[in-house]
Structure 1
Amino acid sequence: MKIKEIAEYMRKNIEKNCTIEGTAREFGYSKFEFSKKFKKKTGFSASRFLSFLKIEKALDIIINENEDIIISQIRTGYNSSGTFSNIFKKYTGISPSNYKKTIKEFYKILREYINSSEIEEISYGRSLKINGNNTKNFLCVNLIYPKNYKSEITFIGLFKNCVPDDLPHFGKVLIPFKTENKCIFENIPEGKYWLMGCSIEKGSTLEDFFYLRDSIRARENKAINFPTDNEYTLKFRKPMPSDFPVLINLPKLVKEVIEINIGAISSAPDNE
């Protein structure tokens, strides 16, 4: 199964009412056979991938084309505004109307954090609370970026699923020039996690912080079982058509982490 070609086809035909059945037929499969092979090859279902592609395209229409919400809904094949809004909010954490209204606000807060923060990173759990300092079950991660690439901000997460379809159970917001391209996860409960990350390049525009299709990303190929004594390396690369879309509103995430943990962040020691 040629996943790259299939993913490219699905992306190109989002606005042409792309379906799993139609895609399967295009590549010579029955719907059942296609779905089975797709999941075996990628680790996630074709229907889930298509659903995320639709919201990714909706973000493109809203953010980069500056179109109205109803236009993005219609062009991505949703007949019901309620269904579109619910799915959009489920995947991004915010309704489409609020997404459009708050882009500038979230970007301003994120930019202030990048430019003026005296700390080098924020480490948080799924509840967005900053992790404690208990070093039981820690993980050291080395970050390798493409040649001549300079990161503005990098997001690293330990996810329970093999794709970034929700907030990570444990996450890092890194200002790379302060961290020497390394981070340490601490106080991780025993279990299996997938290590993934994405980065936004220095000099990026406001749109690049919200529409992440073109952002570089990294992913450990196998799940990590804690406790572990291994040190891992995340090697960032350019995105591929078959990559699972990253829809998490990262500026909103940073805003909420800062607001929830304002006391802890303001009292954090300066590590520079």
Structure 2
Amino acid sequence: MSSHFVDAVERSIMLMQGNLGEQLTVDDMARAAMFSKFHYTRVFQRVTGVSPGRFLSALRLQRAKSLLLSTSMNVADISVHVGYNSVGTFSSRFTRSVGLSPTEYRRGGGVLRSIAPLPPDDVAAGRGVVSGVVAARSSAAIEVVFMGLFKSRIPEGRPVSCATLAGPGRFGLDKVPEGTWYLLCHGLGFDDDGGTKPEADALFGCHGPFRIGPEQALDVVVRLEPARLYDPPMLLAMPDVRAIATGRRSRWGGVGVGRAA
């Protein structure tokens, strides 16, 4: 991928990050990238995997997650701070993307009790299998990996299949519906006090988009790397990774593998 394109996209993302409370337009972003609006939109999609508008929306929700855990601001003030005119719209989008309402997210310390895949009514019954290896550099202190199959490059909402692994290694996702998916992985370690390390220390991996046909089996390798500025943020709240790390290991070397527990 051209470094010229990446640099241009990153300039526009820095504009977004510095103006989350403002009503930015694609024209504003294109000017920061020094591209025409049409060219900018195509390049941004190519580099990040999503549109500029969707990326901006994800950044706003990511900032809201941080503010809910690090400040005493009320939900209404946070919604305005990240660019929403309606607290109702903010709350519904937050809940749909994160898996918890803003109040639940704050009360639970940003942790989900469990992540269940989409129910059969929401996706066609599947018989596909995605398996393979999650790899990380040998120096990476990753103790838990969450992975899920999502409809888009942004890890938000409920995946169609998911798993948690006690560190990098083999995995298997079964009952995968026919369709086009992204396999997104999120690797976390623990600090000296037993808490989760900051999000900035997390590692990320992506494979896709790829298509799974009826009863198709696919074997892949996903490499965990530090997040880049142009990687869409993780919106879905994580399960209790400490409990996962100390729980029962599965036959794949993880916990809750398959259509997750």
The TM-score with structure 1 as length reference comes to 0.71
The corresponding residue for 2:108 is 102
Q: Closer, same or farther in 2 for the Cα pair 1:125/1:253, shift >3 Å?
A: farther
Secondary structure, in 3 states, of the residue corresponding to 2:226? coil
Alignment of 1:1-272 (within 5 A): 1=5, 2-103=8-109, 106=111, 125-127=117-119, 137-176=128-167, 181-203=169-191, 208=196, 212=199, 214-226=201-213, 227-228=215-216, 230-251=218-239
Q: Closer, same or farther in 2 for the Cα pair 1:27/1:184, shift >3 Å?
A: closer
> Deviation digits for residues 23-50 of structure 1, max 9, x if unmatched?
2223334444433442244331111110
Secondary structure, in 3 states, of the residue corresponding to 1:199? strand
> Deviation digits for residues 50-87 of structure 1, max 9, x if unmatched?
01111111112221344332332222122222222222
Amino acid at match of 1:192: T
Amino acid at match of 1:62: L
% identical aligned pairs = 21
Q: Closer, same or farther in 2 for the Cα pair 1:15/1:225, shift >3 Å?
A: same
Amino acid at match of 2:84: Y
Q: Closer, same or farther in 2 for the Cα pair 1:63/1:5, shift >3 Å?
A: same
Amino acid at match of 1:236: L
The corresponding residue for 1:119 is none
Cα distance in 1, alignment partners of residues 131 and 97 from structure 2: 29
Secondary structure, in 3 states, of the residue corresponding to 1:150? coil
Amino acid at match of 1:83: T
> Gaps (5+ residues) in structure 1?
111-121, 129-134, 256-265
> Deviation digits for residues 123-163 of structure 1, max 9, x if unmatched?
x64239xxxxxx96433221112332222321111223333
Secondary structure, in 3 states, of the residue corresponding to 2:186? strand
Hey, which of these two has a bigger chunk of strand by percent?
A: 2
Q: Closer, same or farther in 2 for the Cα pair 1:206/1:23, shift >3 Å?
A: farther
Cα distance in 1, alignment partners of residues 94 and 192 from structure 2: 24
Q: Is the 8 A contact 2:135 2:169 kept in 1?
A: yes
The TM-score with structure 2 as length reference comes to 0.74
Q: Is the 8 A contact 2:129 2:218 kept in 1?
A: no
Q: Closer, same or farther in 2 for the Cα pair 1:270/1:95, shift >3 Å?
A: closer
**Displacement, 1:270?**
7.3
Question: More displaced, 4-13 or 194-203?
Answer: 4-13
Amino acid at match of 2:175: N
**Displacement, 1:215?**
2.1
Question: More displaced, 8-17 or 215-224?
Answer: 8-17
Q: Closer, same or farther in 2 for the Cα pair 1:151/1:225, shift >3 Å?
A: same
Q: Is the 8 A contact 1:17 1:76 kept in 2?
A: no
Secondary structure, in 3 states, of the residue corresponding to 1:86? helix
Give the count of matched residue pairs: 237
> Gaps (5+ residues) in structure 2?
121-125, 254-261
Cα distance in 2, alignment partners of residues 252 and 234 from structure 1: 23
Secondary structure, in 3 states, of the residue corresponding to 2:143? strand
Cα distance in 2, alignment partners of residues 36 and 207 from structure 1: 40
**Displacement, 1:11?**
1.8
Cα distance in 2, alignment partners of residues 96 and 251 from structure 1: 16
The corresponding residue for 2:257 is none
RMSD (Å), alpha carbons? 3.6
